Each structure stands twice: as structure tokens, then as C-alpha cells.
Amino acid sequence: MARVLIVEDDVAFCKMLETFLSKKGFQVSVSHTGNDAMTKINESFYDIILADVRLPDKDGNTILKTVTDKFPKTKVILMTGYAEVNLAVDAIKTGAFDYISKPINPEKMLETIQKALSGKEEMQQKQTGTKSTRKEITPQDTTSYVGGVSDASKKLNDYIKLVAPTNMSVLIIGDSGTGKEYVAKNIHDQSKRANETFVAVDCGAIPKEIASSEFFGHIKGSFTGAVNDKTGHFQAANKGTLFLDEIGNLNYDLQVQLLRALQERKIKPVGSNEEIKVDIRVIAATNEDLKKAVENGDFREDLYHRLNEFSIQVPALKKRKEDLMLFANHFLEKANEELEKEIVGFSDDVLELFTTYAWPGNLREMQNTIKRSVLLAQDKLITTEVLPNQMHIATTEKESYSLFKNKNEQELILDALEEADGNKSKAARILNIDRKTLYNKLKQYDIKL
């Protein structure tokens, strides 16, 4: 059983990580200060140290330097905020195994920990000649997908079933938080590569200085801080699927390298003269208008077409009203499991608020809202008192299609007709009006179908 020390001053967040990792079979200890962590490290051996960069008395880099010098067999993984990426890059040069950005995705954190442990085992195998039987835990072991029952969801799922069995590159387009990674994982799960690795990469979180190393790997000594050989994302995804999230954030130089790797299906680790063949399927995702980026010269047109052999549009949550409670109940179940609570459902006021709220952050916002509410809930039901204030403020009137109160009435009608594929009866239901009222409005605005 691997021993993990979590060093984090946010007590609630630390407890969540402790519960999650304990359920995954790790022996977990926690420290809320750097000094307490150093005491524990000197008293006991830990396979993994998961430390926040910012602590009240010491920073994570101080712990890292001590561990690197005194306990070289222990792997250190740093947790950083977005503004601390430069600190993380310095930490990797100092000897950190990796860093993960906040807010933490538990599945990605688990994947990073398992990679660190796999590296330790490979070193032991070289020394003893033994072979490991450990199965690497990757996101596909823990990710679940809710298909939905709305027309928008059915259309999305039909596209997934259509393209999944092929080897085509897929570009997933959708607003932030709509669940693009879940869609990518579902494509992988229904593909011929389902039993192989699914590697998810957040292109927006990779610093430019180490991007080539992250994607293609490096060999020991190739640059300052390269104390070990590193396997890049392409090689890690060999035979499986490589998911490139927020692909529009890649800098132009890396776009050139990525295009070459996709065309030739070969990679060259940083500092190496040897090319490595890779067999991968690429799925990319973006919340930007890549066509506009191509026109502006910010994104290579040849790379865009290489990635966009088939495109899928993921609908916003506000266009999946019939799926709201499916997702809400799913997130409630997940939150109960992670936080070890037994909340049974939502009050009637919460249900009404859920249906009228716009959910600008889409599924991610809903998941975070429900998780926070489960943590704060004192009774068996989630009540409006534990919901974020912005939900109460933003829902002064029904967000959906409130006619006669909205100056953009004509635009709302056109949106509803588009969502209903021109079906007037369905559009009327979306608008929450009767068909006669809709016909009168169509005549008033001279809308012809």
C-alpha cells in the first residue's frame, strides 16, 4: 500500500483529498503546515508527497528541496494556482515529479500519482530484475458519462456512436464546462481502442518552456533539471487515444511540432536523435472559434483540418433542460461518495431554482455547486440556503424564454425555433407559451418558416 502525505492548509480541501485517496487504496497522512510536514517526513517514509506551493510557514519548494536532498526515492507532486505556473516550472527543474493545477481534478491527480509510482516501480525492476503486475489507474477507470434524454443530447450521442468506431480525428466544440472531456472519453470507450490508454492533456495549462518535453518527452541531461528520462503524452497514449483539451491555447511553434507528429506518426524526445513511432487517435476540444483563429493567423489552417476530420458540437446546459435533474442527481451521488455524506435529494425550492437558473458555467458549475451544497448541508435535503448567492441574484426571472418581459423577444423566438428544428409545437413548449400565442408572435415579427 503506497503511503501519501498531503500538505495543504485548506482543511476542507485537504479532507476531500484524503477521503478520495483513502478510497483508492492509499495510506494517507495530512499536514496543514510546512513545519508539521517536515516533522512527519523525517519520522516516516512516504512514496508520494502532494504539497501546495503556498503554505502559511513554508512554501512547497522548500519541502521539495529537502526531500530531493534527503529522500530521493520519494516523489513530490506540487499543487499550484494558475498564477503560480512559473513556480511549478522551477520546481520541476529542482526535481519535482510533476505539478497539478487548481482547481484539482481528482482523476487527473490520481493519474499523476500512479505515473509517479510506476516510475518508482520501473526503477526497482531495473535493480531487481522483477516485473510489476500493477495496473496503472487512468481517468477511464473513474470517469462516468450521463447520456441525457433531451433532443440535443440524443443528437450528440448519435454523433458519438457514428464516429467512435472509426479512426477519424474529432474536434469537439463547446462552451467551457459543457463536458467536452466526458464526450471525448465516451468516444474512446466506444472505439476499437477502448482497452488502451486514454490520455487527457490541458493545453492551456502547459507552460511554453516545457511544452515540447510534456508532449514528446525528454532524455536525461537534455536540459537543466532533466534528471531522469521522461515519457511524453504522445508515447504514453500509444495504441490509445490522446485528448487535447483547449487546443486553441497552443503556441504557434508547438502547433508546427504537433502537426508534424500527427502527419508522420513519429516523435522525437527532447535531446534525442531517435524517432519513436506512435499509433494514436487524436481528439481535440475547444471553446474558441478556431476558424476565426485561422483567419487571424493565430492557428495553423493545416493543423485545423488535420484535427477536424469530424466535428461535434456539445450543447450548453441551458439547452438541455430535460437533462437537468439527470445531471443533478448524478453529481449528488458523486458528491455523497467523495464527501462521505448521505444527502437524499433537493428541496422543491432548489428544484425550481435549478430550472430557472442560466448555468453560465454549464455542467462544471452544476457539479461544483452541488458538491459545495452537499458539504454545507445540515439536513437530508439540499435547501436554497446552501446555494451560492449568485444563483439567487441571477434568477430574478426565468432565464429560459420569458416572453413579454424581455426586449429581445424576437431573438428568443428564433432561438427556440432553431432548437426545435422548426417544430412550432415544440418551440412553444420551450417558450412556455401556447401555440396560438406563438403564431401571433410569428406574424407580428414577420417570421416565416
Cβ pair 316, 176 in contact under 8 A: no
Q: What is the DSSP letter of 24?
A: T
Find the radius of gyration of the CA atoms of the chain.
24
- Which 3 state secondary structure label does DSSP give 96? coil
C-alpha torsion 307→313→317→318, nearest 10: 140
Q: How far is CA 256 from CA 28, 219, 259, 306, 432, in A?
A: 43, 21, 5, 12, 50
> Alpha-carbon distance 174 to 223, whole Å?
38
At 151, give phi and psi (nearest 5°). -60, -40
CA–CA dist 181, 171 (Å, integer): 11
Sheet order of strands, 27-31 included? 27-31, 3-7, 48-52, 75-80, 98-101
Please give the Cα distance from 224 to 227 (Å, whole number). Answer: 8
Q: Which pLDDT band holds residue 30 (cuts at 50, 70, 90)?
A: very high
pLDDT band at residue 52 using 50, 70 and 90 as cut-offs: confident
Q: Specify the CATH superfamily of domain 3-128.
A: Response regulator (3.40.50.2300)
| Residues 257 and 216 sit within 8 Å (Cβ to Cβ) | yes
Confidence tier at 205 by pLDDT (50, 70, 90): confident
- What percent of the chain lies above the pLDDT cut of 90? 43
The domain defined by 139-313 folds into: Rossmann fold (3.40.50)
Q: What is the pLDDT of residue 315?
A: 94
Per CATH, domain 317-394 is 1.20.1050.140:
no
Looking at every residue in the chain, the average pLDDT score rounds to 84
At residue 3, the pLDDT reads: 94
**What is the torsion angle, in degrees rounded to the nearest 10, for the CA atoms of residue 161, residue 204, residue 51 and residue 388?**
-70
Q: pLDDT category, 129, cuts 50, 70, 90?
A: very low
Q: Is the pLDDT of residue 418 over 70?
A: yes
- Per-residue confidence band for 100, with pLDDT thresholds at 50, 70 and 90: confident
pLDDT band at 132 (very low <50, low <70, confident <90, very high): very low
- For residue 276, the SS3 value is strand
Cβ atoms of residues 338 and 371 within 8 Å = yes
Asked if domains 3-128 and 139-313 share a fold, the reply is yes
Domain extent listing, the chain: 3-128, 139-313, 317-394, 409-444
Residue linked to cell 504514453:
236
Task: Give the 3-state DSSP-derived string for 106-166, with helices as H, strands as E and coil as C.
Answer: HHHHHHHHHHHHHHHHHHHHHHHCCCCCCCCCCHHHCCCCCCCCCHHHHHHHHHHHHHCCC
Most confident of 63-67, 94-98, 156-160, 405-409: 156-160
* Terminal-to-terminal C-alpha distance of the chain: 65
Q: Which of 22-31, 53-62, 206-215, 437-446 has the highest mean pLDDT?
A: 22-31
pLDDT over 70 at 300, yes or no: yes
Per-residue pLDDT band at 120 (split at 50, 70, 90) = low
Q: What is the pTM of this model?
A: 0.61
